[in-house]
């Protein structure tokens, strides 16, 4: 159990992965191109971060046609996600990402 917890928290040690999680906490799901647009990062970098988050148990994905959509793993405790959302909402960068996502849609 402890090594799993270590992996879960280690996955959040990167600012880009924190930004990805914050975006997913505010949406149903997003595909890689949406992350690339908001984060202003190349597809290869975003995909690498999503793989780390998936391996740590943060996200799950579903393929629809040619796109892969990511969302927060539904098995994560909702109270924990609410606490994380509140903690992250204090970041201006995260809020800017969210505004840029809404402009895109």
What is the count of structural domains for the chain? 1
Is residue 105 included in any domain, yes or no?
A: no
CATH of the domain at 77: 1.10.10.10
Helix/strand/coil for 66: coil
What pLDDT is attached to residue 105? 66
Distance CA 78, CA 85 (A): 10
Q: What predicted TM-score, i.e. pTM, was given to this entire model?
A: 0.91
For the stretch 20-61, pLDDT in tens is 999 999 999 999 999 999 999 999 999 999 999 999 999 999
What pLDDT is attached to residue 8? 83
Is residue 101 included in any domain, yes or no?
A: no
For the stretch 90-105, pLDDT in tens is 888 898 999 999 887 6
What pLDDT is attached to residue 97? 93
Domain range spanning residue 75? 2-90
Is residue 98 included in any domain, yes or no?
A: no
Is residue 97 included in any domain, yes or no?
A: no
Structure tokens at 90: 């204090």
Is residue 104 included in any domain, yes or no?
A: no
């Amino acid at each position: 159990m402890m090594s799993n917890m270590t992996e879960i928290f280690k996955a959040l040690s990167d600012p880009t992965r924190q930004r990805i999680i914050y975006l997913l906490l505010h949406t149903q799901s997003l595909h890689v191109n949406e992350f690339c647009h908001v984060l202003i990062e190349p597809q290869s970098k975003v995909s690498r971060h999503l793989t780390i988050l998936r391996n740590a148990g943060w996200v799950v994905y579903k393929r629809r046609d040619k796109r892969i959509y990511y969302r927060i793993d539904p098995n994560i405790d909702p109270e924990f996600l609410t606490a994380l959302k509140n903690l992250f909402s204090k970041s201006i960068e995260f809020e800017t990402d969210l505004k840029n996502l809404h402009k895109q849609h």
